[in-house]
Amino acid sequence: MVSALNRKLLHDLVRIWAQTLAIAGVLGCGIMVLVMGTGVQRSLTETRAAYYERNRFAEVFVQATRAPRSLLPEIAALEGVALAEVRVVLSAVLDLDGMAEPATARILSLPASGNPVLNVPLLRSGRMPDPLHADEVVVAEAFAMANALHPGDRFRAVIEGQSRELVITGTVISPEFIYTIAPASMMPDDKHFALIWMGETAAAAAADLGGAFNDLSLTLGRGANEKSVIAALDRLLAPYGGTGAYGRDRQSSHAFLDNELAQLAAIAKYLPPVFLVISAFLVNMVLGRLIALDRPQIGLLKAVGYSTGAIAAHYLKLSIGIGLVGVAVGWGVGWWLGAGMTRMYADFFRFPFLIYVPGVGSFVISGLLGLATVLLGALRAVLASARLAPAVAMAPPAPPAFRRGWVDWLGDALHLRNLTMMILRSVSHWPGRAMVTLFGVAASVSVLVASFFILDVMAVLMTDIFEHTNRQQATLMLSRAQGEEAVLAAAALPGVRRAEGAFVLPVRVGHGTVSRLLALQARAADTQLTRILDTQGRPFDLPQRGLAIPESLADVLGVRPGDTVTVELLAPPRETWVVPVTALVRQSMGQDVHMAAPALFALMRSPPQVNAIHLMIAPEALPGLRAAVKTTPAIGGMVEWTDIRRQFDVTMNENLVRMVVIYTALGMLITVGVVYNAARIQLAERAHELASLRVLGFTRREVGYVLVGELMLLSVLAVPVGWALGYGFAALMVAAFSSEMVSMPLVISRATYAYATLVVLGTALAAALLVRRRLDHTDLVSALKQRE
């Protein structure tokens, strides 16, 4: 049998169903973000781990110039090494039917017999190539799909200066290339960059590496020390052109996905508390109002024998009911959105399967947090009701005491209308309620600022990358380093208006116990097509001595201009220098270090060299240049920066638009929850006052102005507070999202503040007007009898 208090509980939930749904919506958003963020992060981590294990993804990687295969047993015998495999890796330029521009390829060898031991490609269609047929290859599934290639199709490739026709026998994916970026590029380009696997004999013959290798992968035994294994590998391979071993954390595909997982963790960490805190305040507002209306009932219940604990438990159960609705909504929407986001990530990163395991822990923790939130929000109001004696509770509350104060002096000085003075007096006499509304609206503004600012960040990054630093239209990658005469040869290619050489050298830069494998770029004094920026984002001339390094790298190494770092060359002459840091630069993507070309080549005791050439091209001559590149043996690949920009735009727009829409909806929901509840409470508390105004002859519009005006005044006052909170959230997101791969600037435009303000104020006005409509249906007689 349902007790009287339980029947009252159900009646109260029905009576405040609108406020319950509004609070549950805000609470559910916090639960949803937590479940979604942790669920997607856990699922991607589990999926990646399973994929790595099934296809034996290596743990340590190293490249060399030419190392004898006879070295493999010695490598395999190193302490800590479990499995080791060598292969041949080389680059190629592809000529595909129907595509005018050349494509670039990375060719990897397959064992002459049997399957690979590590980094096992997973066959998706067709079959693996026959080792006895040198022209058979398998290609990455993404490249095949982007170019409509199928098993049996043929294409031409220029490999080490020789043109060959290759036939596709199948398509594969690999755990080594979950995320793939072409050399000198910044975004994946499945159409113009191919991964190709061919037989070991054919690859070694093409690269003139018979009996040798230039790429090594290995896995570690349990308890192995990765740093020790890497140091041993570097010692063994140094005589053979080793460019420095590195672990998974520096492998580009793995590192990029790690960065995405870190961003998901940051979202799940920083955003839910905003919704939970607001939910607690809303519960306190609504329950406090409900208890005020229930004072006579509380007194009667105590008079007939109900204990203080039973009455307190009743209202706590009411708050738990609100919390359960919010938790259920958050769980359901979080599960659904998490599954959708995980599928999206699985497609983007080319996983062969999907393991969606959000985990029980995220549901348990989010559920407990949700219930704790509503209980804490209700506690103050419930304790206040529990302390009421029966006689006090049954008596109507004392009316508030009004006296002239600063608000009245302000009104007199500004000659404000009486209705406006009613608004100001209400705010000043109930500051606690006003602060809850103000804080809630400010939180909504902050969420929107912290979501819209990503667009500002991407605009700055795009400007830095494609307008300030990289102004070339194309970059040629040379098969091997050449003298400066290669720049003159490139300038003679069809349509080339300007050609500038570049030289990039693999190095290990260190300071103290910290070191990083990086690319050292030599920069000529008259470089115009590529530039570097100072810490303020302004182009500047590189100092004639010393090293210029990115700010993010300086933070990692713990150095500033004037300090020295060690620079270990991982290519001939393979020396270690102590070089002063003379400048810090702003670099949005990557962590290349820069040195003036004369200073670098003087230290190397070498004539100037180039291994890449940047070009400015006449647009009408681009087809002729593409054709020439396909038939020039010295060119190992070509990157067109317009393609990179277009791919960047497409990828960013898809992801950012989706994210901005989601966070805009969340910010609007906060505003609706806060303003709607505040309006309902004010309407209930001031029904007698507003009805009196109607009886005295004020119009519906004037009476509505009192209700809506107070809410909009608080909303306007909340805007600058929301701006400040939004800046703080943005700073936290920059710190969480920035990594050694991507350095995000903290920039928020005026347009972002304006958009956030317009969305919030528009939503607040809509919510207030929704409640204001109830004034038109208010029974004036009943409202006037409330005080009787």
Segment 639-650, tens digit of pLDDT: 888 888 887 777
Region 11-21: mean pLDDT is: 75
**Which of 218, 184, 171, 207 is CA-nearest to residue 73?**
218
Please give the Cα distance from 163 to 174 (Å, whole number).
Answer: 27
Domain positions in the chain are 496-617
Band of residue 179 on the pLDDT scale cut at 50, 70, 90 = confident
Segment 317-364, tens digit of pLDDT: 888 888 899 899 999 999 998 888 888 887 778 888 888 888 888 899
Of 10-19, 128-137, 203-212, 461-470, the one with minimum mean pLDDT is 10-19
Of 281-285, 354-358, 760-764, the one with minimum mean pLDDT is 281-285
- CATH fit for domain 496-617, picks 3.30.70, 1.20.1530, 2.60.40, 2.40.40: 2.40.40
The answer to whether 675 touches 711, Cβ cutoff 8 Å, is yes
Band of residue 615 on the pLDDT scale cut at 50, 70, 90 = very high
Q: Is the pLDDT of residue 140 over 60?
A: yes
Q: Using DSSP, state whether 290 is helix, strand or coil.
A: helix
Of 591-600, 753-762, 767-776, the one with minimum mean pLDDT is 767-776
Segment 363-410, tens digit of pLDDT: 999 999 989 988 888 887 777 766 666 655 555 665 655 566 666 676
Please give the Cα distance from 100 to 626 (Å, whole number).
Answer: 7
pLDDT at residue 509, as a whole number: 92
Pairing of strands 474-483, 89-95: unpaired
Query: 661, exposed or middle or buried, with CB in 10 Å at 0-12, 13-18, 19+?
Result: exposed
The answer to whether 26 touches 670, Cβ cutoff 8 Å, is yes
pLDDT at residue 788, as a whole number: 45
Region 541-564: mean pLDDT is: 90
Q: Is the pLDDT of residue 288 over 60?
A: yes
For residues 148 and 275, the model is more confident at 148
* 523 φ/ψ angles, rounded to the nearest 5 degrees: -125, 125
**Which of 619, 612, 417, 604 is CA-nearest to residue 529?**
612
Please give the Cα distance from 442 to 458 (Å, whole number).
Answer: 25
DSSP states of 603-661 as a string? HHT---EEEEEEEEE-GGGHHHHHHHHHT-TTEEEEEEHHHHHHHHHHHHHHHHHHHHH
Segment 674-724, tens digit of pLDDT: 887 777 777 766 666 666 666 666 777 777 777 788 888 888 999 999 999
Band of residue 778 on the pLDDT scale cut at 50, 70, 90 = low
Band of residue 566 on the pLDDT scale cut at 50, 70, 90 = very high
For residues 166 and 436, the model is more confident at 166
Percent of the chain past pLDDT 70, that is, above it, reads: 90
**Which of 363, 317, 323 is CA-nearest to residue 23?**
323
Number of Cβ within a 10 Å radius of residue 248: 16
Pairing of strands 122-126, 162-173: antiparallel
Q: What CA–CA distances, in Å, run from 309 to 315, 317, 676? A: 10, 12, 31
Q: Using DSSP, state whether 30 is helix, strand or coil.
A: helix
Region 224-244: mean pLDDT is: 91
HSE value, Cβ hemisphere, 13 Å, CA-based, for 125: 13
Q: Is the pLDDT of residue 268 over 80?
A: yes
The answer to whether 101 touches 191, Cβ cutoff 8 Å, is no
Q: Using DSSP, state whether 154 is helix, strand or coil.
A: strand
Ramachandran category for residue 635: left, alpha or beta (phi over 0 → left; psi -120 to 50 → alpha): beta
The answer to whether 157 touches 164, Cβ cutoff 8 Å, is yes
Q: Which residue's structure tokens are 């909340």?
A: 718
Pairing of strands 593-596, 514-523: parallel
Please give the Cα distance from 76 to 112 (Å, whole number).
Answer: 19
The C-alpha angle with vertex 83 and arms to 218 and 224, in degrees rounded to 5, equals 75
Q: Is the pLDDT of residue 145 over 70?
A: yes
* 225 φ/ψ angles, rounded to the nearest 5 degrees: -95, 110
**Which of 379, 392, 252 is CA-nearest to residue 318?**
379
For residues 628 and 108, the model is more confident at 108
**Which of 32, 744, 743 is CA-nearest to residue 341?**
32
Q: pTM to 2 decimals?
A: 0.80
Q: Is the pLDDT of residue 781 over 60?
A: no
Region 774-780: mean pLDDT is: 59
pLDDT at residue 685, as a whole number: 65
Q: What CA–CA distances, in Å, run from 563 to 71, 525, 554, 558? A: 39, 24, 10, 9
Region 574-586: mean pLDDT is: 91
Segment 420-466, tens digit of pLDDT: 777 777 777 777 778 878 888 888 898 889 888 888 888 888 888 88
Of 576-585, 604-613, 727-736, the one with minimum mean pLDDT is 727-736
Q: What is the DSSP letter of 713?
A: H
Q: Is the pLDDT of residue 531 over 80?
A: yes
Stated as kind and residue range, the H or E segment containing 301 is helix 295-303
